Amino acid sequence: MLTKLLEIRNIMIDTYRKVRHFVNPVIKFIIALLVFSNINSAIGFNPDFAKTSIVLVMSLVSAVTPGGVMVFLAMVLALLHVYYASLFLSIIVLMIFIVLYAALMRFSNGNAIVAVLIPLLAPLNLHFAVPMVLGCVATPVSVLPCACGVAFYYLIDVIKTVAGKAIEEINLDEIITYYKDILDVMIGQKEMYIVIIVFALVIIVVFLLRRLPFDYSFLISVGAGAAVNIIGLLVGSLKFDLSISVGSIIFMSIICAFITMASDFMKRVLDYTAIEHVQFEDDDFYYYVKAVPKIKISMTNHNIKVLSPGDDDVSEGEEYPDDEDYVSAYSEQAPGYDLYSDYDEEPEPEPEGEENLAMQYAMSDVEGDYEADYEEEMTDESDYDETGYDEAGYDDPGYADTGYDDSDYDRN
């Protein structure tokens, strides 16, 4: 069972490593596509901008640019639709957008995408996962973009309700009354304030508990985040009439806690196993280097040993077929991205030029050196560090003495 799980994980990591360069843009493209089509279906007043071709072009642009660009394009699209419905309403929405950007989005610090993820996930109530994930991976400053995302979601709701009136002719005298109506609807969104406050609390609770130095602090922090989410929203729904039902608050919070745990695990595993391609140069050469983190588990080479009491001999499940594989299974490396983590440097020769020969020579030279490195690692167990997967650590010299390969078990 354990080995099966490890193999499944290994297959996932391997596949991701191979397709990593395509996966991230594809995921962003899909998110962008969903965001823009959601905006079009909710407030798509202008049929010209609701065209599939425009949505596709904007999604493509968002796929290859930072998250902030997607948010900006979503704002522009929403604004263009509102402008088509009513000039006056679009001015108000523009002003609100500027305020939201200047006071909240500006501090997103690379997490701008949450501002569009929350409105996207909110209809399914899956947006509860967003503050929990932010608490795990970001700082409490992410409260601000998170609040911005919630504001966007309810703002679109408001535009939907008030824009119907806007399409009709409005006299100048009526504009003030109309404007008051709009702001009344916006100010009257009690649910928005409750959700913003609860999400902020969830982020802070998860962030603080996550960093406490005790075992299972990660699980406890996510659990506490889910609890704060449930209690906060339930209290909110007792005081005010929320559109989210009590059942879905509880059920979806628990589901979102599991999603958070899964995404955190995937993030840690996938981020630190990614193959790096870097280029640099010195006085003599250009280097094109592919750096492969050493965390590969050989598919069939798990050294399972059955230890029975009173039996000094160790019966082995499977032997390592050869030294090289043994080494690769043994030398699993700490996943934390660190300047000092050992990368398996593999200089690739430049395809053209005089240096080609020299590089090829260097490559074989480097490979020869790896063996020496592996050997060093094998003998130096004290330096072996499995942080990142198991924070509690597992250090039993008894196992080490018998040559028991605990690295696979350490992770789980």
Partner 1 sequence: MIDNRKVRIMTRMSIYEKHEGKEDLKLNKYFKSDYARLQVLKTLVSITLAYAIVLVLVALYQLEYLIDNALTLDYPELGKMILAYYIIVLAVYLVGALVGYGLKYQFSRKRLKKYYKLLRSLKEIYKEEDSYRSNM
Q: Name the residues that contact partner 1, by CB under 8 A.
A: 92, 95-96, 98-99, 102-103, 106-107, 139, 141, 176, 179-180, 183, 276, 278-280, 282, 285, 287, 289, 291, 337, 339-340, 343, 345, 347, 358-359, 361-362, 365-366, 369
DSSP bridge partners of 278 = 289
CB of 381 to partner 1, least distance (A): 22
β-strands 286-293, 343-348 pairing = antiparallel
Judge contact between 154 and 191, C-beta under 8 A. yes
CB of 180 to partner 1, least distance (A): 6
For 346, the token pair is: 């593999």
Closer to partner 1 by Cβ: residue 237 or 341: 341
The three-point CA angle 239-245-249 to 5° equals 90
DSSP 294-320: S----TT----EE--TT--S-EES---
User: Distance (Å, rounded) from C-alpha 408 to C-alpha 25?
Assistant: 32
Give which of 82, 81, 35, 42 is closest to 58, Cα–Cα.
35
For 391, the token pair is: 């924070």
Closer to partner 1 by Cβ: residue 337 or 404: 337
CB of 152 to partner 1, least distance (A): 16
CB of 314 to partner 1, least distance (A): 36
Give which of 53, 288, 59, 42 is closest to 160, Cα–Cα.
42
CB of 282 to partner 1, least distance (A): 7
Beta-carbon contacts of 360 under 8 Å, excluding residues fewer than 6 positions away, are 349
Closer to partner 1 by Cβ: residue 56 or 96: 96
Closer to partner 1 by Cβ: residue 98 or 378: 98
CB of 351 to partner 1, least distance (A): 16
Closer to partner 1 by Cβ: residue 49 or 199: 199
Closer to partner 1 by Cβ: residue 159 or 224: 159
